[in-house]
A and B are shown apart, each in its own frame.
Chain A
Amino acid sequence: MEFTRRQFMTLMGGSAATAVVFQACGVPPDEIKVQSSIQMPEDLVTGTDNWYATLDRLNPTSNGIVVRVMEGRAKKIEGNVDYPINLGKHNVVAEAGLQSLYDPDRISAPLVRVGDRGSGQWEEISWTDALSRLAQRIQGLQSTSGMAMVTDPVGSHLGMVVERFLTKIGARHLVFEPLDRVTLSAAMETAFNHNNQLYSQGRFVMPDFDIENAEYLLSFGADFLSTWVSPVRFARSYGRFRDSDNNRGVFVHADSRFSVTGANSDKWLYVNPGREGLLAQSIAQVIISEGLGDPESVRSLTADGSIDMSHLDPELVSSEIGVEAGKIRQIARDFASHRPSLAIGGGSAGAHTNGLSNLTAIYLLNYLVGSVGKKGGVILNPESPFSDVMPASSGASLDEWSNFVDEIGRREVEILLVRGADPIYGLPEGVGFKDAIERLPLIVSFSGRMDDTASMADLILPEHNYLEDWGTDVPNPGPGYQMVGFQQPVVRPFFEHRGIHHGTRNFADVLMVLSQVLGADLDLSADNFLEILRDGARKIYERGRGVAGDKSVGDFTDFPSFWNAVLQNGSWRDEAARFDSTAPIPPEFPSSIQPPSFGGIDTVAQDVFNLIPFASASLSDGSGAHLPWLQATPDPITTATWRTWVEINIRKAENLGIKEGDVVKVTNGRGNFVEALAYPHPGISPDVVSIPIGQGHSSGGRYSQGRGSNVLSILDTKRTEGTSALAWAATRVKIEKTGRWMRLPRFENTAPELAVDEGGHIIPLTSGD
């Protein structure tokens, strides 16, 4: 009910009307109870704000954030200057976390399905009822292997509770990452883990990249300024790299798509899809043949010269790569001479059938210029500071998903638990997951909102939003030294007013209660998650190393003051605890890289393209689509919002008679298609079309449901050799006009053009000399 100021004043005039007004505004009755100012929480003073440190869990690597809280409500998110990963910076995704807390479509109590599966008919039940229903079903299992849990990459203390729970119950664990790091981790392992030092309790620890101190940065496919691995950290580092006072660095980006990162490079090179590795090898060949490389590394990489690299001469491979031989030679010489130089690769470069060898060849370049373990190069990370707590796991490969689908088909799986992951949305239709799960007798979701997978569940046990929850994180990749991030609730749970039988709960606590009901002993140090975290912190405190805020651990008089300090600063860190083993010995160069192979349409025609999907800068892999700020954030390259578009070369579009806003059908030749609005632009290759990931949810609330289309669904199920991860850039598609047109909601041209005088510029350039 809306009131104008005048109406409000009129109503307030009669005191009898006051109660009516508050009722009408929908303020829950327990919030207007008069509270004695003596009993008010000490941090709740009307008109005064408090900033609490916690963690952002929406980005692929946790960032430290501070949240402004006034009168019990979160008002603003900013970066935490004390957090070693992002050092005070943040991005659109972290900022929009507020809207995930106050999402109008959040689930406020456990739900049980009453209609047909997916019909959206639910009934609220109490937590006791929900947990006992689930426990009964688990107890009724024929064999415990009939249960499986799908989660997002969980690490740290939560990961430990999940692992213990699953081991005790005997259930399987599949980790879901839409654009997984499986191939990336595998390539980094081959490149840098020669002596097996980069493991932490069996998990590979990714290295960090010191972009800030590099002079020359060569990147392949990785959109590290926007969505890749740890975008806030890399963007901050990039800003310093560009500092003109500090010898502004040179940045070359080789990619088959014109990404945000490509747009910010000094030189963007188009590489034929899947040929990034060959380019890296050819660069290596020039460096080695011209004697520009680090002699020691060259010896190991070429096995004392026994690996013949002459067939990789730029003249011989340039047409296959799609980059002129002269340019390859120039880049190789610059890369070798402007040290410290750094090579990084990922994204679509690793998402081809030959992705593993591509990325391996790229990362090995760092040895040639002596950048491994050096300032301005690849910084290897130490293991986790806890003996029993691991960094987050990487995702399951496509083969594992296919096997899982087969097992469901054979009715070997009876109960599926899903937490923090949306596999129905994120897996290609070719895997058959969506059809398979209809055979599952019980699907339980822990999601706090109705995502595509939760909408197919039978039982929903909603967990807290991360801003209401406790947690820790051992970031992977870390900042080059040991650290632990601490996450604390910045506000009381939003659905607290629903009472203890309804509302949301902490996921780990739910697992612990469940294991108690089932009579399984998880062998944990405490029976609630907060105490487990405190015990974890106590271990750090007792070891006496490192700092919390600006105070050494040894200087704290007792544990409670240390605990307060880590919560206040959001982290504990030990800058002395670095990777201290000897630098790894480079492995041998892969002597040849297989050409990539493509799925989907196999004919060559004017309207057949390589499809390069990409994670949207705001919606990421689709997990941000329910947040209106992110929907309304213009894509940096196209400035498009709210819809799914397909990027196509401006000349090619002209030839095909495609204009902006034309609804085109993108087919993969296997009967799957998506529709998207055409956006022709000059930056993309005529051989490639590009579609953002993120839209096309069949569920998820008012802002995402039924909006745009999901490009992941039409991907072919080609796998990367060696890791059998989904080769998500290896699909060829056909573009057809549907004859329909729709205005693409974009930011561009919403303001009139600036009236610049002849000879004047909006963005003047300087050569900087």
Chain B
Amino acid sequence: MVTTQEKKTEEKWGMVIDVDKCIGCQACVVACQSENNIPVNEEEHFNQRRPIQWIRVERYWEGEFPDVKARFIPIMCQHCDNAPCEPVCPVFATYHNSQGLNVQVYNRCIGTRFCANNCPYHVRFFNFWEPSWPESLKNQLNPDVTVRSRGIMEKCTFCIQRIRRTERESGRDGNELKDGDRALNTACVNACPTDTLVFGDFNNPESRVSKLRKKEMDDHHGRGYKMLDELGTSPNVIYLKKVDKEAKESSTH
């Protein structure tokens, strides 16, 4: 018997990020921590340069007072088609799944940290400590997401638990997955107040991400670019350039 799930082409999940809209507010960062049971980054963790943020917002300065600007950019796992982190894992803890996701299998991971070394985007995080919460704060932990123990690598999953839950429920009810469904969207996308982040299926030509890719990447006038494209990682995250009326096309960051 062929189920509806098997008949249609598989999804290819990806994201489009409009850098022009990012205000640096960190809503995505905290939403991710809440959704994915990321341990609280304590003061010590920052001082040892080991905080865990699956999605982070980087701030770049341009110029100096009084002609000064600050630019913000959210960076998370780019779910590369040629992911440099994958071939170096000796135990196949990280691999590419059929939906274009770069997946981390926690209970295979032995903590060699080769993958983090090889990731040009620095979006893989090692658990240097056993995660801990005061007893009452454990009530907020998401039951759909494993708490990673000490010695394990972790990273952005595009909220795979949300994808799986929505797939399961739509399969049960006989519905198609809907583009932009808030139950399917990653936590950061739902949190973003300015719609900087858009999540969806690149294999569905009607999805917002596909339309944005068509408009911004295929056209020479489009704003689309891939981060560190020259490395040939072919990321599944497309960024849209920051608009600055005073900018010469080649100004640097």
Contact = CB atoms under 8 A, between A and B. Distances in A.
Interface string B218-253: 000001010111100000000001111111111111
Contact of B69 (A71, A263, A634): A263
A260 B25 contact: yes
A639 B29 contact: no
A633 B29 contact: yes
Interface string A69-109: 01101111111010000101111100110110111101000
A628 B140 contact: no
B35 interface: yes
B59 A639 contact: yes
A36 interface: no
A268 B68 contact: yes
Contact of A750 (B49, B57, B140, B141): B49
Given A242-B20, A263-B24, A642 B193 contact: no
Nearest to B247: A765
A72 to B, nearest CB: 9
Contacts of A618: 26
A682 interface: yes
Contacts of B248: 765, 767
A99 B138 CA distance: 10
A684 interface: yes
A99 B23 contact: no
A515 B27 CA distance: 42
Contacts of A702: 134
A643 B21 CA distance: 29
B70 A79 contact: no
A70 B143 contact: yes
A545 interface: no
B197 to A, nearest CB: 11
Interface of A is mostly: loop
A617 B33 CA distance: 17
Contacts of A651: 64-65
B120 A754 contact: yes
A633 B26 contact: yes
A608 B55 CA distance: 39
Contacts of B27: 90-92, 95
A235 B30 CA distance: 17
A190 interface: no
Contacts of A617: 25-26
B41 interface: yes
Interface stretch (A118-126, A561-569, A741-749): A741-749
A636 interface: yes
Given A90-B27, A633-B29, A766-B223, A751 B61 contact: no
A17 interface: no
Contacts of B21: 239, 242
Contacts of A103: 136-137
A686 interface: yes
A473 B23 CA distance: 28
Contact of A99 (B53, B137, B243, B245): B137
Contact of A764 (B56, B138, B241): B241
Nearest to B120: A755
A593 interface: no
B66 A643 contact: no
Contacts of B250: 759
A40 interface: no
B191 interface: yes
Given A78-B190, A239-B196, A633-B26, A270 B65 contact: yes
Contact of A239 (B63, B194, B227, B253): B194
A686 B65 CA distance: 8
Contact of A766 (B122, B139, B243): B243
> What is the size category of the interface that chain B forms with chain A?
35 or more
Nearest to B50: A750
A250 interface: yes
B209 to A, nearest CB: 15
Nearest to A4: B149
Interface string B69-82: 11111000000000
Q: Which of B29, B41, B57 has the most CB of A within 10 A?
A: B41
Interface string A416-427: 000000000000
A636 B249 CA distance: 26
B51 interface: yes
Interface string B125-163: 000001000111111111100000000000000000000
Contacts of A91: 25, 27, 191, 193
Contacts of B68: 258, 268, 682-683
A260 B59 CA distance: 11
Interface in A727-762: 743, 745-752, 754-757, 759-762
A38 to B, nearest CB: 24
B31 interface: yes
A765 B142 contact: no
Given A104-B136, A762-B73, A632 B42 contact: yes
A684 B143 CA distance: 44
A407 interface: no
A323 to B, nearest CB: 9
A75 B142 CA distance: 6
Contacts of B227: 754, 762
B40 A765 contact: no
B121 A244 contact: no
A758 to B, nearest CB: 10
B23 A238 contact: yes
Contact of A751 (B65, B122, B138, B192): B122
Contacts of B3: none
B30 A95 contact: yes
A650 interface: yes
A711 interface: no
B89 interface: no
B47 interface: yes
A681 B194 contact: no
A358 to B, nearest CB: 20
B113 to A, nearest CB: 14
A228 interface: no
A763 interface: yes
A244 B46 contact: no
Given A682-B64, A750-B49, A750-B51, A637 B70 contact: yes
A266 B142 CA distance: 40
A763 B193 contact: no
Contact of A761 (B40, B49, B253): B253
A232 to B, nearest CB: 6
A761 B143 CA distance: 39
B61 A76 contact: no
Contacts of B187: 76, 78
Contact of A763 (B42, B60, B66): B60
Contacts of B40: 628-629, 632
Given A636-B26, A636-B57, A650-B64, A754 B49 contact: no
Contacts of A235: 23, 25, 193-194
A374 interface: no
A95 B60 contact: no
A95 B30 CA distance: 7
Contacts of A681: 61
21 contacts: A2-B130, A86-B193, A90-B27, A91-B193, A96-B30, A103-B137, A104-B134, A226-B25, A260-B25, A270-B66, A628-B137, A634-B29, A642-B42, A682-B65, A686-B65, A756-B228, A762-B253, A764-B225, A766-B249, A767-B248, A767-B249
Interface of B: 19-21, 23-27, 29-31, 33-35, 40-43, 46-47, 49-51, 53, 56-61, 63-66, 68-73, 120-122, 130, 134-143, 182, 187, 190-196, 223, 225, 227-230, 241-253
6 smallest CB-CB distances across A and B, nearest first, come from A239-B194, A745-B46, A104-B134, A765-B247, A636-B24, A235-B193
Given A641-B41, A766-B249, 7 more contacts: A90-B193, A238-B23, A636-B25, A685-B66, A750-B49, A762-B253, A765-B249
